[in-house]
Structures are given as structure tokens and as C-alpha cells.
Amino acid sequence: MEQSVWKNYGALPSQYCGYKKSRVVLVPVPYERTTTYLKGTAEGPRAIIEASRNMEIYDEELEGIPASAGIATGEPVICSEKPRVMIDRVRTRVNKILKDKKMPVVLGGEHSVSIGFLYALRDFYPDLSVLHLDAHADMRDEYMGSKYNHACVVARMREHVPVVSMGIRSLSEPEARVIREKNYPILWDYRLQENFRLIKDFLQMLGNNVYVTLDLDVLDPALMPSVGTPEPGGLSWWTLLHILKEVAREKNVVGFDVVELMPNPANPAPDFVAAKLIYKFIGYLFSKI
């Protein structure tokens, strides 16, 4: 039975956070080794959990308490070694949670933590597909000497499963060339903003079992400035919630992550945005909406 040395998410009372009874298990992965601009994502998981403890657990939209599904906070996956080591540790941890028939939710850390999560999910769901929400394509085959750099995450994922990306508004010319040649499904941010109806069309490109990987820089930096590589444009709070609500309705979401929060002590609001976002998505997944 897992019992985290960290404070529990949401300051939830015992009936909502015990591992045995919980349907959701949060896995903090405070890893940062391959970030290339601003630093601090290793502090993201703890900042999310701390912010969540000031959050009301009743949801006015769902008219209920999403935490009633049970949300356990697991021990953090600690690693200061190369990404490949971290990826193996995340895979091992997530495999245990899946064997216990619970939904894993990974809190990053940099985006490279998602690779280990994907490998574990693929072991259980051979027909897995991925919804990738991000400002960046993350399609470099290699970056700064590593194939497991945070800028290579989606390139590694596409080697194993289909991926549908949304919100993208930054990429290199070589990434753009590969995307054109392979005809990868990407709902660019500018197209999404022009026509929200495209969201449903792109979600239909996913299979039934879906892993959602959510880099917080997909949001407008006016709402989410606390990320390592902020980009102008991006999704509003309500647009992102609409996407998450739709994928919860239409697909069997088997796990999700929220990564790349770079907390700023002078502005804790983004930490709260990340914490509330996780709670809203759990609510959509375990409530009738």
C-alpha cells in the first residue's frame, strides 16, 4: 500500500485518498535534466500538490465531488540520472499501478517523463493512441545529444503508437518536413482558434484507448506563464476544458499527465491552475457528463 511522504493532493480527507480504495493514483516525477531554456520544472509536482491543498473539492459544473473516485498521492519517482534511467523507473511505477487496476496520473517534471508512462500503458493497451496537447511539436529525432530529450517526446511516441497533436504553434523546419511527409494529424493552434469544430474531428482520429499528455505551455501564457518555453497564442482555460471534456465523453482515457510547470514563488496562480486542471479532468473522467 502506497502512502506518500509528500502531502496528499487536495488535502483530501482519508475516505478520498487511501490507496486501496482510490481509482486514481498521482505519481509525482520531479525530474529535470534536458530542459533547454528556463529551469525549474523539477519543482512542478510539489507546487501542484501544495496549491491543490487550497482548492475546494466540490465542483459546481459536475454538482459533486470528483475526489469521491478516490485520489491517492503516491511516492515521487526520484531520479537525477540520464533520461533513460528515469524512463525505466517511471515505467516500473506505472506498471504497478496498472496491475492494481487504477488510473495513473503523472505530474512532471519535464516532458521526457511521459516516455516511460507511454511504455507502461502500451504494455497494457496494445491499441493505445495519444492525445498530445502542447505548444511545441516535440518531434525532433535527437536534441542536444539525446533521443530522450524533452524536445523528442512525440518522436519517440510515434515510433510505437498513433498520436494526435493539438495546440501546436512552435516547431523547427526539419520537424515540419517530417510532419508533411508522414501526414501526421496536427491541429495547429491558429486553425483551432479559427474553427473550434475541428476539435471533434481530430478527436475522432484517436482509437478507443487514449493516453492524454498535457504540456502546460499549450495554454495562453497570460494564463500559464510558469513554463520553461512559453509561446504566444495558446488555449484559453475554457477551450482546454472543452477538449478534455470531449475526450472523456468519446474515448476510454486510460491515463494522463500534466508536465512542464515551472513554479514562480512571486506568482503562485499558475500552480493553482495546474492543480485545478487535474481535478477538473478527473471529474470529467469519473462523472457522467
pLDDT tens per residue across span 120-131: 999 999 999 999
pLDDT digit string, tens, across residues 184-196: 999 999 999 999 9
Q: What's the CA gap between 173 and 184, in Å, rounded?
A: 15
pLDDT at 1: 39
pLDDT at 155: 96
pLDDT at 36 > cutoff 90: no
pTM: 0.95
Mean pLDDT, residues 231-260: 97
Q: Please tell me the least confidently modeled range out of 35-49, 78-92, 218-232.
A: 35-49
pLDDT at 203 > cutoff 50: yes
Q: Check: CB of residue 111 under 8 Å from CB of residue 259.
A: yes
pLDDT at 262 > cutoff 90: yes
pLDDT at 4 > cutoff 60: no
Mean pLDDT, residues 8-23: 95
Handedness of CA 171, 186, 260, 85 (dihedral sign): negative
pLDDT at 79: 82
Pairing relation of β-strands 209-215 and 129-133?
Answer: parallel
Rounded to the nearest angstrom, the gap between the alpha carbon of residue 58 and the centroid of all alpha carbons in its chain is: 23
pLDDT at 7: 83
Highest mean pLDDT among 3-17, 29-43, 47-61: 47-61
CATH topology of domain 9-286: Arginase; Chain A (3.40.800)
pLDDT at 206 > cutoff 80: yes
pLDDT at 34: 58
pLDDT at 14 > cutoff 80: yes
pLDDT at 148: 78
Q: Please tell me the least confidently modeled range out of 37-51, 115-129, 240-254, 275-289.
A: 37-51
Say what percent of the chain tops pLDDT 70.
94
**Rg over CA atoms, the chain:** 17
pLDDT at 142 > cutoff 90: no
pLDDT at 102 > cutoff 80: yes
Nearest to 236 by CA among 273, 280, 262, 267: 273
Q: What's the CA gap between 280 and 278, in Å, rounded?
A: 6
CA atoms within 13 A on the CB side of 106: 39
**Grid cell in block for residue 65:** 465531488
For helices 113-124 and 83-99, what crossing angle results, to 10°?
A: 40
Give the pLDDT band of residue 253 (cuts 50, 70, 90): very high
Nearby residues of 193 by Cβ (< 8 Å), 6 or more positions away: 233
What are φ and ψ of residue 169, in 5° steps? -150, 20
pLDDT at 227 > cutoff 70: yes
pLDDT at 5 > cutoff 50: no
Q: State whether residue 181 is helix, strand or coil.
A: helix
pLDDT at 166 > cutoff 70: yes
Nearest to 93 by CA among 29, 163, 189, 181: 29
Nearest to 124 by CA among 250, 10, 211, 247: 211
Give the pLDDT band of residue 151 (cuts 50, 70, 90): confident
Q: What's the CA gap between 68 and 286, in Å, rounded?
A: 9
